[in-house]
Structure 1
Amino acid sequence: MTNEDRKTAAESRYWVGSVARAAEVLEALASAEPGTGMSVTEVASRCGLSKSAAFSTLYTLRHYGLVADDGEGMNRRYRLGMGLTRLGWRAQTQISLRDIARPVLAELTRETGYASRLAVDESDQAVVIDQIENRERIQVDLRMGARELPHCTGLGKALLAEMPDRQVLEVLKRVGMPRRTDRTITDPKTLLAHLRDVRTLGYALDDEEDAEGVFCVGSALRNHRGECVGAISITGVNVDVPTWRQQELGRAVRDAAVEISQRLGYVAAS
């Protein structure tokens, strides 16, 4: 929160100063180097508080397990408490993937003009759990709850690309690689090579591999632990969509997937 944002919020009649002070103290402790902690004096200086105000806030937060301390007297150091871990875990369990993804999907559909979808992995297939339809005259028949094969769809390939090759082969062995169109990849080695490109690009393209005249671009979603929790895609009628446009759409889907992942708490490795 910027100083201007703080000033605006503080002017509200709903602003509770003691709660704001506690939040500022927690933010200060979060900025400390791992394993070092902070003294009362350092917390007070960082937050612009008196030492007595900083101490009373730390004391209260410690009572709820949100702050922990080590040492005695002048050597006492404060750090974030494990109670925050419990609250963080509860916050994650209350997050709805659909609620987080929907506004981003709506913007993706508005930006690209194509219907967008959200899917999760279930029994080795991508199962659509939400979608945003476009308003074009020509519509692709999309159904909620539809199951998509992993080897020939944008959603399915995006999910496969998050797996190591050994696991991909196990999935293909269970599900098979039926030919859907003349463009369907039915050879495991060819698909593995294709998935390496998907990992590099950050998106998967189904160029009439599942249904003739239909293309789909998918990208995977990750949670705060970096785990794949689903995928999003856009789908449309392939009316002479040039390669440069497919790449442009791929980047748009990839960027939307990154935004959703960040809202889920994912932080990319630097």
Structure 2
Amino acid sequence: MTKRYQAPIVKKAFDILTAISRSGKGLRISDISACLDISKSTVHGITAALEEQGAIRRDPVSKRYTIGLTLMELGKAAYERVDIIQTARPVMEHLMEQCNESVFLGIRNQDRVTVIDIVESRKDFKISSPIGTPLPLLAGAVGKAFLACMPPADAADYLKAHPIRRFTARTIIDPDVYLEELHTVKSRGYALDDEEYLVGVRAVAVCLSPFSDQLPALWVVGFKAGMSDDQMPHIIDQTLDAARRINRALA
């Protein structure tokens, strides 16, 4: 097995941050040096860089370092992401049991959609994707759901700057037709994907209410045999109901 390279300076920086965060009154350079067995010159260089980025702050009187606002903001963002996952998870599990298809939770990240949680179907053959997987924004139901939340003019500008890639023979690549589809999505409150991203796969997606600075979405994905024309109305209703329940819990 190939041993992964670990940047020593990065590890030392995290060790310093950890030591400072665990201290009650903050640490001086001499304290950090003695605690971590790192030379004072190295500690001085790392703390100067961390202070410049706002990760730590130095009291001008005591010379002690404490955690800075940048780390607090990063911690808040991480906590909020965990909070939405914990809130949505039981609803997603219930939705999976009702539909017997995989249920995804994701957030928009510029031109991508990042999967932040998934409840897999119990079926032997199911759609799955690792948490953290980035999906193209202009692919399938979830992308339509996100773009339908934008003002029409902004969505049109986005499509001009980002040509739609053809994934299957059913992918909508005409910007005008896509914009008409977004209007339909906005009016009915959900987006559909009928083999537009993956052959033989259907999906239903709903945008959730904005949470902090994030725009999350919920979507159900399965093979067309399980998400048949007869089953789709039930799956759509259950997905919309799940989205309402998550929104109420996050409000």
Q: Amino acid of the residue matched to residue 112 of structure 2?
A: Q
Can you list the C-alpha shifts for 1:69-107, whole angstroms capped at 9, x where unaligned? xxxxxxxxxxxxxxxxxxxxxx99964211111111111
Query: What is the count of residue pairs matched by the alignment?
Result: 174
| 1:209 matches 2:196 | yes
Q: Amino acid of the residue matched to residue 215 of structure 1?
A: R
Q: For residue 28 of structure 2, what is the aligned residue in structure 1?
A: none
Shift of 1:176: 2.3
Supply the distance in 2 between the matched residues of 1:109 and 1:254 (Cα, whole angstroms). 13
Q: For residue 37 of structure 1, what is the aligned residue in structure 2?
A: none
Supply the distance in 2 between the matched residues of 1:247 and 1:150 (Cα, whole angstroms). 25
Say which of 154, 157, 173 aligns to 1:186.
173
Q: For residue 222 of structure 2, what is the aligned residue in structure 1?
A: 236
Can you list the C-alpha shifts for 1:209-233, whole angstroms capped at 9, x where unaligned? 00101111100000479x8721010
Say which of 67, 73, 86 aligns to 1:99.
86
Cα contact 2:107–2:214 (8 A) shared by 1: no
Q: For residue 152 of structure 1, what is the aligned residue in structure 2?
A: 139
Q: Amino acid of the residue matched to residue 220 of structure 1?
A: C
Q: Amino acid of the residue matched to residue 215 of structure 2?
A: V
RMSD (Å), alpha carbons = 2.3
Gaps of 5+ in 2: 1-75
Q: For residue 222 of structure 1, what is the aligned residue in structure 2?
A: 209
Can you list the C-alpha shifts for 1:110-167, whole angstroms capped at 9, x where unaligned? 1110010101010122111110111101122423222223333121111111111121
Can you list the C-alpha shifts for 1:229-258, whole angstroms capped at 9, x where unaligned? 210101111117443422221121111111
Supply the distance in 2 between the matched residues of 1:228 and 1:160 (Cα, whole angstroms). 14
User: Aligned to 1:243, what secondary structure does the other structure show?
Assistant: coil
User: Aligned to 1:253, what secondary structure does the other structure show?
Assistant: helix
Supply the distance in 1 between the matched residues of 2:130 and 2:159 (Cα, whole angstroms). 24
Supply the distance in 1 between the matched residues of 2:129 and 2:77 (Cα, whole angstroms). 30
Supply the distance in 2 between the matched residues of 1:172 and 1:148 (Cα, whole angstroms). 17
Can you list the C-alpha shifts for 1:184-212, whole angstroms capped at 9, x where unaligned? 00011111111111112211111100010
TM-score, normalization by structure 1: 0.59
Q: Amino acid of the residue matched to residue 111 of structure 1?
A: Q
User: Aligned to 1:222, what secondary structure does the other structure show?
Assistant: coil
| 1:254 matches 2:246 | no
Supply the distance in 2 between the matched residues of 1:185 and 1:155 (Cα, whole angstroms). 14
Supply the distance in 2 between the matched residues of 1:117 and 1:263 (Cα, whole angstroms). 18
Cα contact 1:221–1:228 (8 A) shared by 2: no
Q: For residue 231 of structure 2, what is the aligned residue in structure 1?
A: 245
Say which of 119, 122, 129 aligns to 2:106.
119
Shift of 1:172: 2.3
Supply the distance in 2 between the matched residues of 1:116 and 1:240 (Cα, whole angstroms). 14
Instruction: Could you list the structure 1 runs, at least 4 aligned residues long, displaced by more than 3 angstroms after superposition.
Output: 91-95
Supply the distance in 1 between the matched residues of 2:79 and 2:174 (Cα, whole angstroms). 41
| 1:165 matches 2:152 | yes
